[in-house]
């Protein structure tokens, strides 16, 4: 199954016999002291026709705490939110955001991890859509999706530490955060010892769309990640890392997500921290 869909393909699917459920997951990382981005207001101003808004902070994550800034959502809350949005196991789902792709990828990863068989991300997000937008607030028919998590796709802090030594653990943050040169949010800068720097921004072109699968395969192979290798990804709080897991899926490489990511790891002073360009 493909992990992404183009706007042209989506337009065709929406007129087909089994049109996908559309989820609008517009969200932006809020820097300390800055006003919060209002995704629901952006949705109200205009969205893909038929799309339902999903709140990343409230429905795709639990409240910030010891497990990081965007820990896993309570499965009952997540399942109820998906059913309210019309998600059913027998109907495809397409997720989009404002173009960055991080929030859409978080929804994609959660749905895939909890067992939905057919979910894709709109490549390039809302800016790639050439059709008209709608301001209608949609109340879909209740879905029947029941989350059934797959433990194999998830890493905790201990699992991430082991994978950094036994397989490949990719750090999806910007290189300067990986090296510990700057840290605008978390307690301390640096990276998990053994992790390899792999900024998720390098998985897309200037238009925000994913690079071709062959280019992504080449990139990840150069970082030590290839088919048959145990691969995991983390970032600051498990959002941009989901985008990298999505890029790996486009390249045909399965990967696990460390949801707590650096916000969880760095909050515990007993965990080791590496700085500089060397993984170790």
Residue positions annotated with a catalytic role: 235
Q: Are 40 and 135 in contact (CB under 8 A)?
A: no
Alpha carbon of 127 to those of 7, 45, 137, 193, 244: distances in Å? 10, 14, 20, 38, 20
Residue 226 tokens, joined: 């290839």
Q: What's the sign of the alpha-carbon dihedral 43, 129, 255, 242?
A: negative
* Cα–Cα distance measured from residue 261 to residue 125, given in angstroms and rounded to the nearest whole number: 24
* Cα–Cα distance measured from residue 222 to residue 198, given in angstroms and rounded to the nearest whole number: 10
Query: What residues form DSSP beta bridges with 274?
Result: 191
Q: Are 125 and 95 in contact (CB under 8 A)?
A: no
């Amino acid at each position: 199954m493909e992990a992404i869909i183009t706007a042209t393909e989506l337009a065709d699917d929406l007129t087909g016999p089994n049109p996908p459920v559309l989820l609008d997951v517009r969200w932006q990382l809020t820097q300390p002291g800055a006003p919060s981005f209002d995704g629901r207001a952006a949705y109200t101003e205009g969205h893909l026709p038929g799309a339902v808004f999903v709140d990343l902070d409230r429905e795709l994550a639990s409240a910030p705490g010891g497990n990081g800034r965007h820990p896993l959502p309570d499965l009952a809350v997540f399942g109820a939110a998906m059913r309210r949005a019309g998600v059913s196991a027998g109907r495809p789902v397409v997720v989009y955001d404002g173009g960055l792709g991080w929030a859409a990828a978080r929804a994609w990863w959660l749905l895939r991890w909890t067992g939905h068989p057919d979910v894709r991300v709109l490549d390039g997000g809302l800016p790639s859509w050439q059709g008209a937008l709608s301001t209608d607030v949609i109340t879909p028919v209740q879905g029947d999706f029941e989350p059934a998590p797959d433990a194999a796709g998830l890493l905790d802090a201990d699992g991430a530490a082991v994978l950094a030594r036994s397989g490949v653990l990719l750090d999806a943050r910007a290189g300067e955060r990986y090296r510990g040169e700057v840290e605008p949010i978390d307690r301390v800068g640096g990276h998990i010892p053994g992790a390899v720097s792999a900024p998720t921004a390098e998985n897309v072109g200037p238009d925000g769309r994913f690079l071709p699968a062959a280019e992504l395969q080449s990139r990840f192979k150069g970082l030590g990640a290839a088919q048959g290798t145990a691969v995991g990804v983390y970032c600051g709080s498990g959002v941009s890392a989901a985008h990298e897991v999505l890029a790996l899926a486009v390249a045909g490489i399965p990967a696990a997500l460390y949801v707590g990511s650096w916000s969880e790891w760095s909050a515990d002073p007993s965990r080791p921290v590496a700085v500089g360009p060397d993984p170790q």
